[in-house]
Amino acid sequence: MALTLVLLVVVVALVFEYINGFHDTANSIATVVATKVLSPGQAVLLAAATNLIGALAGTAVAQTIASGLLDTGVVTVTPIVLICALLGAVAWNLITWWWGLPSSSSHALVGGLCGAALAASHDRWAAIVWARGGAHWWGEKGVLPKVIVPMVTSPVAGFIIGLLLMGLLFSLIEFLGMRKGVLQRLGRTRFVNLFFGKAQLVSACAMGLSHGLNDAQKTMGIIALALAGATAAGTFDHLPAWLDFLRIKEDATQQFQIALWIKLLCAIVMAAGTAVGGWRIIKTLGHKMVKLHPINGFAAETASAAVILTASHFGIPVSTTHNISAAILGVGVARRFNAIRWTIVERMVWAWILTLPITGGIAWLLVLVARMLGWID
C-alpha cells in the first residue's frame, strides 16, 4: 500500500506538470505567437525543446521545493499530504485556466504544500519554514525569502526592465533616423518587424530555457521529496533490482539528488500539456491585455527571461506568469499608458493575490478529509 501511494504521488505530480504545461508554459510562448513570429505549433515545439534543455541545466529550484519550505522535523510529509497539496494546486490551475487567467502554478504549488503541511501538523505554523539561515533577518531559505518577497520583487523587476528596454529601443530607432511620429508606427514598419521578428526567436528561446530551469523543476522537487521520504522509510527496501531507480540518495551536502529520469519525464509531460491546451492563456496575454508587435515581444521576453534566469540561479521558484505579464505591462506602458486593457490586468492581479490562500485552503481541507477517513493521523 505504501508503494502504491508513493507511485500515486508521482502520477498526481505529473498531472500537475501537464496542467502546468498548458497553463504556465503557454505564458512563455504567448508573445511569440501573438506577434505572429511563430505559429502555435512551431512555438510549442520551440518551448518543448528549450524547456527540456532548461530542465536539465540545474536543480537549484527543485532543491528549494524538496527541502527548503517545510520543516520535516515538525511535520511528516507523507504521500497523502503531498497528494492533497498537489490536488489543491491542480484545482486552482484548472479554475484559472478555464477563466483564461494567467495565474501562477508556482505559487499554487507552494500554497498547496503549506496548507497541507499546516493541516497535517495539526495547525502548527512551525511546520512551514518561514526564514532560516543567513546573516539577514529574512534568511537564506524558507517561504519568506524564496516565495513571498520574490512574488513582489520579481514582477516589479520585470515591469521596470520591460519599460526601460522598450524605451531604449524606441530611442535607438529614433536616433537611427526614423521619421517623425515613428513611436506610433514602430510595430508597422517593415524593417522593424523583420529585424525584431528574427531577434524574437532568440528571446523566445531564452524564455523557454528560463521556464524549464525554473517551472519544470518544481514538480521534480515534489517527486524527489516523495521518493526520498519513501527511501528513508524503507518502502523501497524489497524492490526488485530493475526498480532500484526509484531510490533517492543524498549527496555530501545532504540535499536530494534529482535523477535524470525525473528531469526528462517532467519536461516531456510539460511539453505535452502545452501542445494540448495552452491557447486560452495565450489569448489573454498576447491579444486581450495589449496589442503586441515583434519589437514589443522581444522586449517583454528579454526582460522576463533575465529575471527568471537570475532567480533560478539562486534557487528561487518565481512565477513565469507574473514575470512575463509584468514585462508585457511595462512594454505596453512604454508605448502609451492607455495601450493596456486595465480591466484584464485587474482580473489577473486578483488571481495572483488569491492563489496562495485559496490553494492553501483547498489542500488544508483535503488533509482534514483524509484524516476523517482514517488515511492520515
Residue with the bigger pLDDT between 268 and 257: it is: 268
- The Cα 43–Cα 31 span in angstroms is 10
| Cα distance between residue 20 and residue 6, in whole Å | 21
Is 29 part of any domain? yes
* pLDDT number for residue 136: 54
Residue-level pLDDT at 205 = 92
- pLDDT beyond 80 at 368: yes
Range with the poorest average pLDDT among 38-42, 282-286, 287-291: 282-286
Q: What is the pLDDT of residue 287?
A: 47
> Please, are residues 317 and 63 in contact by the beta-carbon 8 Å criterion?
no
The predicted pLDDT at position 187 comes to 46
Highest mean pLDDT pick, 144-158, 227-241, 338-352, 362-376: 362-376
Quick check: 110 pLDDT over 90?
Answer: yes
Distance CA(44)–CA(70), nearest Å, equals: 34
pLDDT level of residue 283 (50, 70, 90 thresholds):
low
**1 — pLDDT class (breaks 50, 70, 90):** low
How many whole angstroms separate alpha carbon 366 and alpha carbon 83? 9
Burial-class residue 363 by CB neighbours within 10 Å (0-12, 13-18, 19+): buried
> Where is average pLDDT lowest: 25-34, 86-95, 211-220, 299-308?
25-34
Task: Kindly report, residue by residue over 291-319, the tens digit of the pLDDT.
Answer: 778 888 899 999 999 999 999 988 888 88
Residue 118 scores a pLDDT above 70: yes
Domain that holds residue 329: 2-372
* Residue 356 lies inside a defined structural domain of this protein: yes
d(CA 295, CA 198): 10
In a domain, 14, yes or no: yes
DSSP readout, 329-340? HHHHHHH-GGGS
Q: CB neighbours of 239 closer than 8 A, spacing ≥ 6? A: 3, 246, 247
Range with lowest mean pLDDT among 69-83, 156-170, 241-255: 241-255
CB distance 322 to 158 below 8 Å = yes
Would residue 377 count as lying in a domain? Answer: no
Q: How many domains does the chain have?
A: 1
Q: Which three cell numbers stand for residue 294?
A: 515583434
What separation in angstroms does the CA of 69 have from each of 112, 114, 222, 297? 12, 8, 11, 34
- CA pair distance 5, 79, nearest whole angstrom: 6
Mean of the pLDDT values across residues 60-71? 85
Mean pLDDT computed over 91-102:
81
